[in-house]
Chain A
């Protein structure tokens, strides 16, 4: 059974810092890994999707890496801003599970203070 863990559970940093959020998964047989952002009272916004054959994806100040063999992904946020404050979730689509099912971690609550 796939399990996804995110560390740390919460992170508070001053504006301008570069930071790394971690995601680990127990079963390396995945199709892809997706990073989401959730703002309070709002839905999930997809940030980056990494296919199992890829090592990383970049979008603006965000860079996500994937090491499938070790079951790890990191989300790197450069030059953090207060507007980056949100909960960040990672999720995987595992081989052999019900079609399209995403297994989520519990998220990292990020606070960037001015």
Chain B
């Protein structure tokens, strides 16, 4: 009964490929997020969706395209992968409330070779 789940947990792929990471939450939250943790372990927000609508896009390259088929899912598609995309990607969710607690998935470690 994992609250926020991501698949896959590990992803190794070659430069230039296109890949997707899936995220699902069963907490009934309205808002979902993608965060990126770089090699220095620094976490930074990429996107946020509220009830399937984009509300945050932190100047992420347009090779990254989030898709939210419903409010329980937020998938991340990455085109033309580059070496610099190697990182750990975390999905998170929270209620639609400015002071709400956020819950994170276990992360997807993406390695581009």
Contact = CB atoms under 8 A, between A and B. Distances in A.
Do the two chains bind? Answer: yes
B44 A100 contact: no
A42 B104 CA distance: 10
Nearest to B94: A100
Given A43-B90, A98-B56, A34 B102 contact: yes
Interface string B71-113: 0000000000000000000101010101111111111010000
A44 B3 CA distance: 12
Contacts of B48: 98-101
Given A42-B106, A43-B105, A44-B90, A104 B44 contact: yes
Contact of A36 (B33, B45, B104, B109): B104
B12 interface: no
A31 interface: yes
Interface in B21-68: 31, 33, 35, 40-45, 48, 50, 55-56, 58
Contact of B107 (A42, A98, A99): A42
A96 B33 CA distance: 18
B41 A101 contact: no
A92 to B, nearest CB: 11
Nearest to B100: A100
Given A99-B50, A99-B56, A106 B100 contact: no
Given A46-B102, A89-B43, A93-B99, 5 more contacts: A31-B99, A43-B107, A100-B48, A100-B56, A106-B40
